[in-house]
Structure 1
Amino acid sequence: MQTYTIEEINDLLKGELIGNTTQRIEGPEQLNHAKKHHITFIGSSKYLKLWNDSKASAVLLNDNLTLEPGDNRAIIKVKNADLAMARVLELFNPPAPEFETDIHPTAVVHDTATIGNGCKIGANCYVGKNVVLGSGVTLYPNVCVFDETTIGDQTTVWSGTVIRERCVIGNHCIFHTNVSIGADGFGYRPSDDGRGLTKIPQIGNVIIGHHVEIGANSCVDRAKFSSTIIGDGCKIDNLVQIAHNSVMGRSCIMAGHSGLAGSVTLGDGVIIGGSASIKDHTTIESGATVGAGSGVMNNVKAGETVLGYPAQDAKAMLKQWVAMRRLVKK
């Protein structure tokens, strides 16, 4: 087990060390579960009162907060405790599962596929015709990559993920378990005789930029024509739906159970809260935020925060909720 002194951790973080502890740190933990061999963090004043009852020997503390360390306990003051804890987590992050062979004998790799240096392909994977894997790509067991797809350097694809044909994936991406990339978009129209539905062929693809992370069981559908696009640095939670021909700018965030209908456009840095739904052909401009559980029916301006169902300016919606509560009380 790897352990560190509080001085070694502070050297990494370049914070201000207050107090001291002789206890070696064996890992991070939240305040109310921490033991004496743990380091914890406090980023908000509302958690300061929990420090005295916590058994942690050390805490990362936002530098705008004040706290007494106590006997044989230490505080590391940092600008942002959340980001500092992320660096501490990296110290204790267990290694990824190891591959006994670079390409497992049960994997099926088409003769025309191009496999870059240092790739790992796990048991029962399928790599199709004319697929290109860049350097250092990792496919964990039971991943399928279909024909003519390109995956960039150092991308990791976890088990159960299916990447359909003609997709283009960037460098340093992470797809967690059971992600679906490039399945048919949801396109149907009533048939001429009115007795059924006609399926609209979806002949486009999906293009995903660099440093994109997609959570487990999320779906990114291919376009009817052209491409469904996810920009560089986007982070997508579990159980998210991104429909055909949607376009996401750079560094957008989508929380769990949220969804984009067809042909939605997000600017750069858009944040979509959990379980929010975005109507088709809607544009949400750069820097806007959609509150959790909201239903966006109209375009959202840059930097605006919207809330509610249907979504509107957050301040206006909160005033409505207060007014309705007062009516109920009467």
Structure 2
Amino acid sequence: MDALKFFRRAVEPSLADIVAWTGAKAPEGADLAMKIVDVAPLDKARSGDLAFLDNPKYVGQLEKTRASAVLIGAKHADKTPAGVIPLVVGEPYRACALVSAKIYPEATRPGSLFDGAGVEPGANVHQTARLESGVTVDPGAVIGPRAEIGAGTVIHPNAVIGPDVRIGRNCVIGANSSVLNALIGDDVIIHPGVRIGQDGFGFAMSPRGHLKVPQIGRVIIQDHVEIGANTTIDRGANRDTLIGEGAKIDNLVQIAHNVSIGRHCVIVSQVGISGSTEISDFVVVAGQAGITGHLKIGMGAQIGAQAGVMADVPPGAKMGGSPARNAREWLKSVAWVDNMMKKGHGEPKA
């Protein structure tokens, strides 16, 4: 990695620290006082670095790595080269994330772009807004009448917080984002360019023209949610749009009015969710999938990339294709079509 780094190391942990943080098991006789300077991928790591192996695809890189230590599962620990200390742990990727967060805490939560605290010159905070102590407001940000913002929250440049919006403690509101008609919990990260609480797309269609339906609901975002750059979340029409605790939403996602997303869901880039759909807890929706309106997606369901979901999905189901169906059936049908093409049954006739 280039010598210029944008994040400062907070600590240089010993192997003993890493074992304590992750619960990893070091081999007998390992030097637990050894210091780890940085974290790095297997193929780029050097002496003093910590790497990890989670995906067996990279076993070849493990065998050539120059890292000082590797977080690794028991299955592949015997492939660790001489001179590299294997730290055996059940979830190597998660363990490495824990260590990285200790070394680079600034990378887990965007801070003020101006290294300041309080309201910076150039910010516009309405006199009726209420900010707890420890709120940071960067230049160009606008906070509207009667807005309430909790301690430790950072508002980045040119963000707009609308009237009566409530934002909890230790949140980050990214640059050039807008938060309107919303109630936001604690420890929420909103990345740059996010749009929250604007009109839902609601019209009473008619041959005489399309009459706008007033969107009078709110957006409710619970604690520990993260929302990626340029995602849009419309406010409810006649009820609230809800984002459940711990949900992780990627960049460029569209969430329509009245949608309810459960706890700890993962919604990946370019997903579109139509109005009034209910998504239960721990659902995963992969990139570019589309979900039509007024559906129910059951707890723990997995929606494959580019799937087109047009009917309710039962709990735990794995869906793929468009229109979406059971992923195993979809893959079989794709294989069957490919086989027919290879046999010439799918060639157009002259």
Shorter-chain TM-score bucket reads: over 0.9
* 1:44 CA drift (Å): 3.1
Contact 2:117 2:134 in 1 (8 A): no
Higher mean C-alpha displacement, 259-268 vs 8-17? 8-17
* Structure with more of its chain in strand, by fraction: 1
1:65 equivalent in alignment to 2:65: no
Match of 1:144 among 130, 148, 160: 160
Structure 1 unaligned blocks of 5 or more = none
Match of 1:47 among 47, 52, 58: 58
Deviation string, structure 1 residues 121-148 (Cα, Å, up to 9, x no partner):
1111111111111222211121110001
1:27 equivalent in alignment to 2:42: no
Cα distance between partner residues in 1 of 2:333 and 2:79: 43
* 1:322 CA drift (Å): 1.4
Q: TM-score, normalised by structure 2?
A: 0.88
Contact 2:62 2:81 in 1 (8 A): no
Aligned to 2:278: 265
Q: Which amino acid aligns with 1:255?
A: V
Q: Which amino acid aligns with 2:275?
A: G
Contact 1:20 1:72 in 2 (8 A): no
Contact 2:77 2:86 in 1 (8 A): no
Cα distance between partner residues in 1 of 2:244 and 2:149: 20
Deviation string, structure 1 residues 70-121 (Cα, Å, up to 9, x no partner):
3332110011101101111112215344533411121111111111121111
* 1:240 CA drift (Å): 0.5
Q: How many pairs are equivalent?
A: 327
Q: Secondary structure at the match of 1:224?
A: coil
Cα distance between partner residues in 1 of 2:229 and 2:61: 33
Q: Secondary structure at the match of 2:196?
A: strand
Aligned to 1:177: 192
Structure 2 unaligned blocks of 5 or more = 1-8, 344-350
Contact 2:154 2:172 in 1 (8 A): yes
Match of 1:296 among 288, 295, 309: 309
1:307 equivalent in alignment to 2:320: yes
Aligned to 2:150: 134
Cα distance between partner residues in 1 of 2:152 and 2:13: 30
Cα distance between partner residues in 2 of 1:14 and 1:228: 39
* 1:318 CA drift (Å): 1.1
Contact 1:99 1:122 in 2 (8 A): no
Aligned to 2:240: 227
Cα distance between partner residues in 2 of 1:189 and 1:44: 51
Contact 1:48 1:67 in 2 (8 A): no
Q: Secondary structure at the match of 1:321?
A: helix
Contact 2:18 2:24 in 1 (8 A): no
Contact 1:20 1:73 in 2 (8 A): no
Q: Secondary structure at the match of 1:32?
A: coil
Aligned to 1:121: 137
Match of 1:186 among 177, 185, 201: 201
Aligned to 1:75: 86
Cα distance between partner residues in 2 of 1:311 and 1:68: 41
State how 1:309-328 maps to structure 2 within 5 Å.
Answer: 309-328=322-341
Pairwise CA RMSD: 1.9
Higher mean C-alpha displacement, 216-225 vs 1-10? 1-10
Q: TM-score, normalised by structure 1?
A: 0.93
Q: Secondary structure at the match of 2:169?
A: coil
Q: Secondary structure at the match of 1:66?
A: helix
Q: Which amino acid aligns with 1:247?
A: S
Match of 2:95 among 78, 81, 84: 84
Q: Percent identity of the aligned residues?
A: 33
Q: Secondary structure at the match of 1:83?
A: helix
Cα distance between partner residues in 1 of 2:145 and 2:287: 38
